[in-house]
């Protein structure tokens, strides 16, 4: 099972920048997309079908905002839309698919960059989501959580930790949530295989040289529960794939 997680920052914009040509190279069996900023009917989804993908969408009620989707060549046994957390579901933040005894969760975590109100919402969302996955694990111990977490966990995960210590996405409370989340029985799959610095998945678009100079953040993750640790084969980040201000992250699992 090969999985890609990718915040495309608007799927129609990404398609205009060559997303479909990249998918033709068959980078993974399952493509988890965040921030679609579109409903299925607004997109030429037949293009994904033509490449052999079944497509599943969970879009925000607000047009042009948020939203997640999964394109998969492996038929899921079950698809679940949302988590029952109304505000989160209205924003189209979580879609879940079952493949045998594995539950794949594709999530777009909230950002707090727009101000205190959204930062407060983010903390509430993190707490609610932690409770949700804790309960889910009792029924389904084999979980994969991929998505844009909007948190750089450690100093190695951000180009300028000192300069960003008061920036949303690298605040002490967010980093502490991530630490406790991983300590509760989750594995950061990328760090299982890669301990080297300067590996990032997002670069600000405010300054054109930021990505060129690799001044980025690692805020996109594929985590698995401990029950799947022994199944890990490989993980990576693909900074040379450029349809978005993010890049894809990759995980391969053996059955």
Using the Cα atoms of residue 188, residue 189, residue 194 and residue 197 in order, give the sign of their dihedral: negative
CA distances from 1 to 98, 100, 234 (A): 13, 12, 11
Alpha helices (runs of H) in the chain, residue ranges in sequence order:
11-16, 19-23, 46-50, 86-90, 116-139, 172-183, 189-193, 209-212
The active-site residue out of 29, 54, 148, 188 is 148
List 186's β-bridge partners, or say none.
225
Active site residue 148: yes
What phi, psi does 61 have (nearest 5°)?
A: -65, -35
Annotated catalytic residues are 148
């Amino acid at each position: 099972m090969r999985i890609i997680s990718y915040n495309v920052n608007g799927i129609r914009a990404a398609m205009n920048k060559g997303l479909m040509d990249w998918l033709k190279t068959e980078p993974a069996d399952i493509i988890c997309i965040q921030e679609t900023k579109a409903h299925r009917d607004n997109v030429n989804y037949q293009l994904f079908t033509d490449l052999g993908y079944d497509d599943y969408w969970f879009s925000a009620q607000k047009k042009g905002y948020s939203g997640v989707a999964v394109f998969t060549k492996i038929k899921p046994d079950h698809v679940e839309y949302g988590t029952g957390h109304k505000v989160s579901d209205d924003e189209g933040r979580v879609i879940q698919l079952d493949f045998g005894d594995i539950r794949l969760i594709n999530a777009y975590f909230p950002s707090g960059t727009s101000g205190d109100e959204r930062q407060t919402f983010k903390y509430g969302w993190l707490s609610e989501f932690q409770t949700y996955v804790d309960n889910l694990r009792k029924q389904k111990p084999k979980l994969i959580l991929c998505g844009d977490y909007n948190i750089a966990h450690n100093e190695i995960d951000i180009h300028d930790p000192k300069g960003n210590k008061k920036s949303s996405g690298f605040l002490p409370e967010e980093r502490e949530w991530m630490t406790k989340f991983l300590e509760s029985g989750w594995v950061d799959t990328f760090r299982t295989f890669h301990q080297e610095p300067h590996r990032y998945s997002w670069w600000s678009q405010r300054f054109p040289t930021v990505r060129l100079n690799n001044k980025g953040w690692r805020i996109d993750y594929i985590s698995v529960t401990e029950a799947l640790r022994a199944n890990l084969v490989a993980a990576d980040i693909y900074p040379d794939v450029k349809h978005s201000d993010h890049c894809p992250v990759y995980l391969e699992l053996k059955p």
